[in-house]
Chain A
Amino acid sequence: MFDDMLGTAMSERGKQLLKDFPALQVLHKHDRKGVNGMIKVAEDCEEYNRRYAEPMALEIDERIGRDHDYFNWDIVKAGCQYRFLSLAIPEGVGGIAGKYIVTNMALAVHELCSTCGGIGLIFGAHTLGVSPLITAGAMAHWDTVLHEIAEEEKKGNPVLMAYAITEPSAGTDVEDPEFLAKGKIGMEARRTKGGYVINGRKCFISNGREAKYLTLTAALDRNRPLETWTTFLIENGMPGYSTPRVERKMGQRASHATELLFEDVFVPDSHVLGYPGDGMVNGILMVMGASRGPVGAIATGIATGAYNHFMAWAKTRRNGHAPIDEERIRMAAADMHAMLCANRNLFINHALVADASFGKVLAHPLVNSTYLTPRAIRTSKPMYKLLNSMAGKAFINTLLGLFISDEEITHILALASMAKFHCADNAMKITSKALELMGADDSEDRRWVEKCFRDAKLCQIYEGTNQLNRLCLYDTEISKELTVEIPRPFRAPLKVEVN
């Protein structure tokens, strides 16, 4: 029933994907090309897993357990041929993101994490770093930073990004406007001539040490964090910027969580993404609206890996007995299967709804036509200046407001938060149950599931803890107290003290 009308048979992976995601099966009837693109992503990830991740994952995890400074670049390089770093980079600047940007991302990390949560996180955190450049409509940097990432990737050189919002004294607080207003913020970006001077620390930043570029949110005035929260583009190598340490993590180890230190780091005005003061929306809520669903996909991928190894164990016959012969093991398998199914539906629902908005913008003729002008003009100084000017940003904000309504983006955030916490909780249930049932077993399968258990726990913590995500779902969808307001153009500029 899944066969192409033209008679070309769909791959096994494709058929399985449509079974796993009923929504895609329906969509395939209406947009074959789009869904075939998703199948391609899943197939690429599967091949990458088989060729690179599977043979290396346990070893990398263990090596970093002993020597946490170790980072395996080969595994990142191997992803270049599949364009994993360009999944959220618009086609116009050389990437592969089209109208299914969020869905493709969710499917990619889901597939990657079914082999290794840590390796999946390297690519997931990278895209998270890319996201504010998209959500803030920072087109001035698409032709520079994003273009560089895409072009270098084609040559096999990975250029990584990271996303830095968490501070030592503010984790949950930076994820919610009401909390941020009351938060005790440590980092400050003080206004100075031609830009800002940043001082302070960020912590737990995935890919922090390896990233060439990062997107950062910070207060311009620590006493008014919400009002002055602003999104910046940071380049590794800016004087005063350093990454003093990487953490010793329980799981998802292939990707480093890093502390970032800013000591009088000068950041020029051109590196402010969107308007100053719009950071909570363009740097956090809109980003989270796109990314929390894929975190649900990460959790689901990890749990799927655990489930697969659990089933392999269950079917292994030892001394004439296979665990699956027992009814209780079959019951447990059914429970896990049902949870995975519910998870997949949750995150794919979010992804498709998100793409109805985000994808619509990226695939819009107006955006695409921009890339009909020669690159030389697009990257010229006057153009860069124009896009970075208040007027340029106002123009982009106007467009954004035309394409996406506040209600839409708020609903997307609600779906994202729901997928995130529910998938993560189920992943913990599945991995811990699998370990309990497998018992004292010295098989390789158990070793994989133990890794999945350690990897899964992180999904309840990052991108806002599961508690925060429940509150967010309540505020956005149930009580409707929180509406994400897309930054409006032509407002009075934010007043901050100049040093």
Chain B
Amino acid sequence: MIQILRTTETEEYRILRGTAADYAARVLAPVAEELDAPTGTPFLESMNKASELGVLRAFVAEESGGGGLDDYAFCVALEEMAVESAGAATALLIHNAALLPAIAASGAPELEAVMGAAFPMSLAYPGQVSLAGGKVSGQVPMAFNAPAASMFTVLARSTEGIAVAMVEPGSEGVEITPNEHQMGLRAARCGSLHLTAVEPLAIIQADNEMVESLERLLHLGFAAISAGIARKAFTTAHAYASERYQGGDIIVHHQALRLMMAEMVSGIEMSRAMIKSACEEGGLAPALACRIEATDRALRSATDGVQVHGGYGYMEDYGMERLMRDASWCQIYPRPNQESLLTLLDLVEG
């Protein structure tokens, strides 16, 4: 396999990258196809082993039993996992995003159960939910991890502004409809959520800053997952092209394909550089910009990855078409890329 890992990462990140890559290859790769099952709730048992990496509670301090990771470390882990299963990486991203509000409100005793919730938690956002008289009502059309969720982090509007309601799936008034037609990222199976006067386990007062940090994490996360998808597309396509003979030569020598693969490399380089700088910069705008670019490039890489494989790429057995379906789904959550572009300009305008 050819080397495209030229980063100036420090020792700490490099070690994490190695461990995460090893985990992905050992644990995720063998079940990647199962995790992508077209219907039903994915069996995410293998993800519990990810706790060794500290990614199940990535942003909980180490002394409290978490991973104590910073944004970039988390992105590194996500990217490596997404190489084998973008869906599993998404399940993990959503789980950690769902934990963020509870971490921010740290120490509150009623949040103990939340902090200890099993993987995966689901993030019910964005949606139309309101909080009144201590009860939440409303609906969320698409929540990742919903059918398997141990807990829902529901963003709701209240008279005092934004509130986060922690809701248990078994509570009265909670109705979850799994999305049985999900095209991509199926390991993080979506569901729509209907809440009718549900009494939450806990309520966390929130503000715009919290919503922003949540969105930022989602953007960075999907950028990292997309980089993983693009890397898988590139390495698999290149390996295949180096063996396939057609048109009088191994096809890696045909310029038509060399151009495609070169663009994959430039896309990966760009995405990674942007992820790194967005993590270092902080703020929503760089994360948003990086997410838009990385997801768009990933879809192109995946589509071309299928093309390099010819007819074989179109078949489920080669895993290339899954990359296309997953990449397309990375472009849309929490909001579609084009809408995000306009938000980006708004942010820059201040």
Contacts and interface: CB of A to CB of B under 8 A. Distances in A.
Nearest to A440: B142
Contacts of A442: 141-142, 179, 190, 192
Which of under 10, 10 to 19, 20 to 34, or 35 or more describes the interface residues of B? 35 or more
B337 A436 contact: yes
Which of under 10, 10 to 19, 20 to 34, or 35 or more describes the interface residues of A? 35 or more
A62 interface: yes
Interface string B320-350: 0100110010011111111100100000000
B128 A319 contact: yes
A437 B303 contact: no
A454 B183 contact: yes
B38 interface: yes
Contacts of A435: 328, 331-332
B297 to A, nearest CB: 13
A447 B316 CA distance: 19
Interface stretch (B8-16, B198-206, B227-235, B304-312): B304-312
Interface string A434-458: 0111111110000100100110011
Contacts of B38: 62, 65-66
B311 A440 contact: no
A432 B299 contact: yes
Given A62-B181, A450-B183, A248 B246 contact: no
Contacts of A432: 299, 303, 328
Given A65-B38, A249-B315, A467-B254, A436 B306 contact: no
B256 interface: yes
A203 B314 contact: no
A249 B38 CA distance: 13
A328 B341 CA distance: 11
A184 interface: yes
A247 B303 contact: no
Interface in B74-115: none
Contacts of B160: none
Contacts of A375: none
A170 interface: yes
Nearest to A65: B38
A178 B248 CA distance: 9
Given A166-B311, A436-B337, A442-B179, A457 B306 contact: yes
B246 A437 contact: no
Nearest to B334: A440
Nearest to B249: A182
Interface in A135-176: 166, 169-173, 176
A179 B247 contact: yes
B338 A437 contact: yes
Nearest to B192: A442
A66 B39 CA distance: 8
A204 interface: yes
A247 B315 contact: yes
A65 to B, nearest CB: 5
B257 interface: yes
A231 interface: no
B332 A439 contact: yes
B315 A171 contact: no
A42 interface: no
B63 interface: no
Given A432-B328, A439-B339, A440-B332, A249 B316 contact: yes
A183 B246 CA distance: 7
Interface string A404-439: 000000000000000000000000100010011111
A389 interface: no
A268 B309 CA distance: 36
B245 interface: yes
A447 B181 contact: yes
Contacts of B324: 250, 457
B169 interface: no
Contacts of A465: 307, 310
B331 to A, nearest CB: 5
A250 B332 contact: no
A62 B179 CA distance: 13
A328 B179 CA distance: 28
A428 B254 CA distance: 23
A328 to B, nearest CB: 6
A438 B334 CA distance: 12
B316 A248 contact: yes
B277 to A, nearest CB: 24
A457 B313 CA distance: 10
A461 interface: yes
The 4 A-B pairs of least Cβ separation, nearest first, read A439-B336, A250-B321, A182-B248, A248-B316
8 contacts: A169-B245, A178-B248, A250-B314, A319-B128, A439-B335, A442-B141, A457-B303, A457-B321
Interface of B: 38-39, 128, 141-142, 179, 181, 183, 190, 192, 245-248, 254, 256-257, 299, 303, 306-307, 310-311, 313-317, 321, 324-325, 328, 331-339, 342
Interface of A: 62, 65-66, 166, 169-173, 176, 178-179, 182-184, 203-204, 247-251, 257, 319, 328, 332, 428, 432, 435-442, 447, 450, 453-454, 457-458, 460-462, 465-467, 470
Given A428-B303, A439-B339, A457-B306, 9 more contacts: A62-B38, A169-B245, A172-B247, A250-B314, A437-B336, A439-B333, A439-B336, A454-B321, A460-B307
